[in-house]
Amino acid sequence: MRGDTLTLECQPASELSGDSVSDEDFSWTAEREGMLGYSNVIVEGETITIRDVRVENTGEYKCFKVFDSDSSDLRKGVPLRALTLSVLALPQFHIIFLPAYDTERECRYKDLLTVNSGLAAEMEAAACAQQKLCTIRVDEPSCLKSREGSFSLLRVIGVMSTVQHWGSGVIRCSAQCRRDLHCSLAYLCASAIPPLKEVDLIVAGAGHNRTVPAISAGGRKWIVTHTLKRKGVYFY
């Protein structure tokens, strides 16, 4: 699994000879040039340790017992083992939802500037539990107006992201098992989206805050009248 630390080992030299051996008696080759020189690859005699495994570490590694250490052709030694490393990465899930709020009057640009940042924290506490199964951020608040002009609301873009390394060091199972668990976790987090759309919005006002109730924006066609794009990287 990407991010893990693993060790590749030759067969014990004692299986080939009763003579004492040293690190110089072993040599490694890799499928592609430069693979053994990566900063996260440590070659020590009959073992290779790969820390924080990356996709570029994928490939075949071969270990040889070298009898002629002066030979430039390592393949003149006895091949002990060929290992193929496949790196599996956990998928990253970003679940988009669009909560809307009734401003009870025409939504204005300054309303967008005063949207309380605590909305994301409140949603995260409700959906992601104490185990921090996910994170939530709120982006790009916008004022919407119905096409007939009789209704106005404030909408934000909610982004729920699953935590990739949740359970690492605690849950012990195969890479495929961890991948399946991560996908199930994303499905579990997504099931919490509908209740999040009912979390009321606190809008900061002059000297006081007011609660703006959550509503459904369905059944109408909307025009964006104002929007506030925040700086940062978006995953839409």
Tell me the average pLDDT across 86-92: 83
Determine, yes or no, domain membership for 111: yes
Would the pTM of this model clear 0.75, i.e. be above it? Answer: no
Determine, yes or no, domain membership for 234: no
Looking at the structure, tell me whether residues 193 and 220 fall in a common domain. yes
Looking at the structure, tell me whether residues 46 and 104 fall in a common domain. no
Tell me the average pLDDT across 7-26: 65
Which of 52, 85, 118 is the endpoint of a domain? Answer: 85
Determine, yes or no, domain membership for 180: yes
Answer yes or no: are the C-beta atoms of 62 and 82 closer than 8 Å.
yes
The secondary structure of 26-81 as a DSSP string is EEEEESSTTGGGSTTEEEETTEEEE-S--GGG-EEEEEEE-S-TT-S-GGGSEEEE
Q: Is the pLDDT score of 130 beyond 50?
A: yes
Looking at the structure, tell me whether residues 29 and 143 fall in a common domain. no
Looking at the structure, tell me whether residues 131 and 52 fall in a common domain. no
Determine, yes or no, domain membership for 31: yes
Total domains in the fold of the chain:
2
Query: Given pLDDT bands bounded at 50, 70 and 90, which one contains residue 68?
Result: low
The three-point CA angle 43-25-33 to 5° equals 45
